[in-house]
A = this chain, B = another copy of it.
Amino acid sequence: MSNEYTIVFRAEGYEDRSVAVSSGETILEAAKRANVPLDAPCSGNGTCGKCRVKALSGEAESEQSRHVSGEDYAQGYRLACAARVRSDMVVFVPPSGFAYQSRIKISEGEREEAGFSAFREELREGGFTGDSGIEILTLTLPRPDTGDPMADRERLLFALETRRGEAVPEPRALALSLHAQRKLPTVLREGNFSVTCVIRHDAGEDRILNVFPGPQTPAEGRHPQAAGWPRAAGLAIDIGTTSVSILLLDLLTGEPLAMGSAGNGQIRYGADVINRIIESGRPGGLERLRRAVVDECLVPLIRALCRKGGIDSEQIYRAVVAANTTMTHLFLGVNPANLRLEPYVPAFFEGGSIRGVDAGLELHPEAELILAPNIGSYVGGDITAGTFSSGVYKKETLSLLIDLGTNGELVLGNADFLMSCACSAGPAFEGGDISCGMRATDGAVEACVVDEDTMESAPRIIGGPRQKPAGLCGSGLIDLIGELFRCRVINARGKFIREGKRVFRDEWGMAGYILAFAGETETGRDLVLSEGDIDNFIRAKGAIFSAIRTMLGSLDFTVDAIEEVYIAGGIGSGINVENAIRIGMFPKLPLERYHYIGNSSLSGAYAMAGSRRAAGKVTEISRGMTYLELSSHPGYMDEFVAACFLPHTDGGLFA
């Protein structure tokens, strides 16, 4: 271990990064230290094959594996996690090896998903709009003179008090933020003692957060998106284990201004929350993970949204974060170790009053940061926010919310009760742990049909007809596996039982289905769904179905009792429920009971950002929700094993 070598990492569009390594260290370990974001969702145990790199010079030993063919090996390809360094090296990282494969993506203001405008309408009807606590108000002050040399701050607060006096009977404390105080002398004189104030109404206090010169109304002819225009913006932030989505909104109108998403930079420390918690316990790990999501994802994404929406970061006055319990801990830099140690105790359920800047975000320095409350170690704010936006909490009928993330979470209930549970599905639904998997972004196959006779397939690809396929997102996986099962290309164990042009079997005995040949794909390599991928997917869908059965069983319900099912998560809007039922992922219910509601966590955060009543309702929901700990529930393991077939060992459930 004493020999020291130097590795240089090289990638297109990046500067070289070099790092010293000890003999015997893996390339992946070296990459982590060099802060090169190599994708390694399986945390480096050689199963996912995502960390393929190419040695341009130098020597690294590794056994060959199904992810690196003999030819590839000769060309210098290695799995970074399996390759031990034996000399100085120059290592090329192909674009597919980056954990940032999914870069920041900004979309137009309006959320494109179906259902979002209906959700906004529902919020209006429920009285969950227009009470963010932020007001914009123009005041005109008397000009100071030698007979009236009152200071700027007191002059402003006095004018506000006078104005308030007309409306509010009891006196309220008035305050001015330091940020506004610093601008005030110039703003007052630029605006000839007319000043437009952004005011937050807190319990017992009206606080002026920001000031702008003059009376500023669109009527005066300035474009409402002009720089410096005194708008009040808020952020709805969903931090998923795999991806981060943020919506920038106008706090007064609720109008979405810009929306974007990015991969969660923590992914290079492990694909699931357990591996992140383990990493956080290493020296410096907690801060490393915090920065990976805050500095590398949230801050640049918020900057991009601000540019898109024509907003200065100082004009963001309120931010809501909805995330699972581990993500909320890592986001705030709070040690999550006890989440995975009996008796599984989070460091907090509710976030209380926090300033966004204290969590490292770039906002107005006194902007509030609100967290959707956690209710247990594995059911977090993403679910409490999602329960609100799905509407399950107010239904008369028994409803089920299924959030298909890396952590799969379920909520069963109605207006009378709410029960939640969580299962570790793994990242398959978001394209992780699947050799051909990817998030539901451009290039992802989101649906496909297989011809029973020829075994040829007709894939639908996100990004339009000219887009070449790059991989499969969750909905595409469900479809392809469902179709292969329907066409009897694979059997109940997920093994290939037919042969043909599109089915291959490699030297390691592993079979697979070639969805697209190298010449047709974005990556220039065959797009293959292997038996290993199908195995991983079956475990993921088995985890979901067995969780549903266990939760129902704990309440003496059967599957038929469920009257509505809400599917949420980043699995992709193209989800084919018929195929999901066919492979035993969802219970056999009439298709019309299923509703895809997209990112319910983000929708909930959006509601909470624009409305204090909505935020209060989510807290109320969280306090009333019970939590079923599956891992200690008798019978769950048996259910899980039985569900790891296509569709299930008890075929009668899907007949």
CA distance A112 to B629 in the complex (A): 64
Q: A482 → chain B, closest Cβ, in Å?
A: 38
Min Cβ gap A331→B in Å is 11
Contacts A338-B185, A352-B175 given: A345-B154 contact, CB under 8 Å? no
* Alpha-carbon distance between A348 and B154 when the two chains are bound, in angstroms: 6
| Contact stretch, chosen from A83-91, A142-150, A258-266, A636-644 | A142-150
Given contacts A181-B332, A334-B181, A335-B186, contact A176 B352 (CB under 8 A): yes
Point out the residues of chain B lying under 8 angstroms from A145, CB to CB.
Answer: 343
**A348-B146 in contact given A178-B332, A334-B182, A337-B185 (Cβ < 8 Å):** no
Contact check, B152 vs A348: say whether CB atoms are below 8 A apart: yes
Counting contact residues on chain A (CB < 8 A from B), the size range is: 35 or more
User: Chain A 320-361, CB within 8 Å of chain B: the 1/0 string?
Assistant: 000000000000111101100011111111101111001100
Residue of B whose beta carbon sits closest to that of A348? B153
In the A-B complex, list the 8 residue pairs whose CB atoms are closest, starting with the nearest: A153-B348, A151-B346, A146-B343, A151-B349, A185-B347, A144-B345, A185-B335, A152-B347
Of A145, A149, A184, A350, chain B has the most CB atoms within 10 Å of the CB of: A149
A512 smallest CB distance to B (angstroms) = 43
Using a CB-CB cutoff of 8 Å, which residues 138-169 of chain A contact chain B? 144-146, 148-154
| CA gap between A6 and B566 in the complex, in Å | 72
Question: Within the assembled complex, what's the spacing in Å between the Cα atoms of A365 and B189?
Answer: 33
Instruction: Give residues 404-428 of A contacting B (CB, 8 Å).
Output: none
Please tell me if A1 contacts chain B, counting CB pairs below 8 Å.
no
- List B contacts of A387 (CB < 8 A): none
A contacts, CB < 8 Å to B: 144-146, 148-154, 173, 175-176, 178, 181-182, 184-186, 189, 203-204, 332-335, 337-338, 342-350, 352-355, 358-359, 365, 374, 376-377, 629, 632
CB-defined contacts of A181 to chain B, threshold 8 Å: 332, 334, 347-348, 352
Q: Inside 8 A of A343's CB, which chain B residues have their CB? A: 144-146, 148-149
* Docked pose: A470 CA to B346 CA in angstroms: 63
Across the interface, A203 reaches (CB within 8 A) one of B204, B338, B342, namely B204
Knowing A347-B184, A347-B185, say if A354 contacts B152 (CB, 8 Å): no
Do A154 and B350 touch (CB < 8 A)? yes
Q: Are A154 and B332 also in contact (CB < 8 A) when A146-B632, A359-B178 are?
A: no
A153 to B349, CA, bound (A): 7
Cα-based distance from A358 to B337 in the complex (angstroms): 32
Are A178 and B346 CB-contacts (below 8 A) given A204-B204, A335-B185, A338-B185?
Answer: no
Instruction: Please measure, in the bound complex, the distance between the C-alpha atom of A354 and the C-alpha atom of B176, giving whole angstroms.
Output: 9
Complex interface: chain B residues within 8 A of A335 (CB): 182, 185-186
List B contacts of A149 (CB < 8 A). 343-345, 376-377
Query: What is the distance, in angstroms, from A603's C-beta to the closest C-beta of chain B?
Result: 25
> Are B338 and A146 in contact (CB-based, < 8 A)?
no
The answer to whether B185 and A153 touch across the interface, beta carbons within 8 angstroms, is no
Residue of B nearest to A352 (CB): B175
Min distance, Cβ A369 to any Cβ of chain B, angstroms: 9
Q: Is the CB of B334 within 8 A of A146?
A: no
| Residue with the highest number of chain B CB atoms closer than 10 Å, among A204, A346, A347, A358 | A347
Identify A152's interface contact among B152, B173, B332, B346, CB under 8 A: B346
Chain B residues lying within 8 Å of A334, measured Cβ to Cβ, are: 181-182, 184-185
A–B Cβ pairs within 8 angstroms, 11 of them: A146-B342, A146-B629, A146-B632, A149-B345, A152-B338, A153-B347, A153-B350, A154-B349, A182-B332, A185-B337, A185-B347
Q: How far is the CA of A352 from the CA of B175 in the complex (A)?
A: 6
Q: Give the CA-CA distance A366 to B517 in the complex, in Å.
A: 60
A337 to B182, CA, bound (A): 12
